[in-house]
Amino acid sequence: MKNLSNKVALITGASRGIGAEVALHLANTGAKVIVNYSSSKAAASAIVQQIKTNGGDAIAIQADVSNSQDVKNLFDNAIAHYGKIDVLVNNAGIMINTFIKDTTDEDFAKQMDVNVTGVFNTLREAATKLAENGSVINFSTSVNRIMLPTYGPYVATKAAVEQLTRVFAKEVGNRGINVNSISPGPTNTELFTKGKPKAVINRLASLSAFNRIGEPGDIAKIVTFLASDEAKWISAQNIGANGAMA
């Protein structure tokens, strides 16, 4: 069912992982898609080509979400091409696992710049440039619900995202825009699996009721629903997507 026909969706960090899967799912349900990327031009172009091969419509636009001018240009270029943006998915993010005592200033700042400032920059643009009755979906994490060592700075950034989500929902609701966040659990992406021994991944999988970690498609289906008109009465909420892990 093409329940996102005539909608235009902008997904940040959409060249790989969950973001790429979200772009594909939104395109498959009829949306025109802007695949944002920071540095992976070839990967972003491949996603655009895959969407076009499947009969969809997509473009790739480079922007570093932590840079406010880049984000302004991202919105302006997307609107210049498609005429509007209806759906914003803030997927771009980085995760650096270290104990708090071992976290460098640089690593802390990197995560804050992308995960928090990046979301803030896009929300600021969306406040006036997202179409009436649009939808915003921000990415948080289910790790906020449990206490895992080495995730301290990362969960701090995502807690900030959840609070931005709640406040922004009240600020733009008068334009018919609903704003939610989604909290994936462990998911089979490079961001999550890189550097983790198989034993660690298996242990995290065992925390799920289904004895597995998530797949990008599991998350993309929920994002697609939140972007649809059927979800308009859901706003300022955080949706756990973790297979009962937390």
Delineate the domains of the chain, giving CATH numbers in brackets: 8-241 (3.40.50.720)
221 alpha carbon, distance to own chain's centre: 13
- Reported as a pLDDT band with limits 50, 70 and 90, residue 24 is very high
Q: What is the CA radius of gyration of the chain?
A: 17
* pLDDT tens, position by position, 49-62: 999 999 999 999 99
**pLDDT at 2 (0 to 100):** 74
**pLDDT at 193 (0 to 100):** 85
**pLDDT at 196 (0 to 100):** 86
Q: Is the pLDDT of residue 1 over 60?
A: no
More confident residue, 23 or 200: 23
Rounded Cα–Cα distance for residues 19 and 15 (Å): 7
- Reported as a pLDDT band with limits 50, 70 and 90, residue 195 is confident
Q: Edge-to-edge, what's the strand order for the sheet holding 87-90?
A: 58-62, 32-37, 8-11, 87-90, 135-139, 178-184, 238-241
Mean pLDDT over residues 95-99, rounded?
Answer: 94
Q: Please identify every residue annotated as catalytic.
A: 154
- Reported as a pLDDT band with limits 50, 70 and 90, residue 212 is very high
* pLDDT tens, position by position, 121-153: 999 999 999 999 999 999 999 999 998 999 999
Q: Is the pLDDT of residue 18 over 70?
A: yes
How large a percentage of the chain has pLDDT more than 70? 100
What angle do the packed helices 152-172 and 118-129 form, to 10 degrees?
10
* pLDDT tens, position by position, 157-166: 999 999 999 9
Mean pLDDT over residues 116-124, rounded?
Answer: 98
Contact of 187 with 146, CB cutoff 8 Å: no
Buried b (16+ CB within 10 A) or exposed e, 176-213: ebbbbbbbbbbbbbeebeeeeeeeebeebbebbeeebb
**pLDDT at 89 (0 to 100):** 98
The two three-digit tokens of residue 78, written as one number: 């997307």
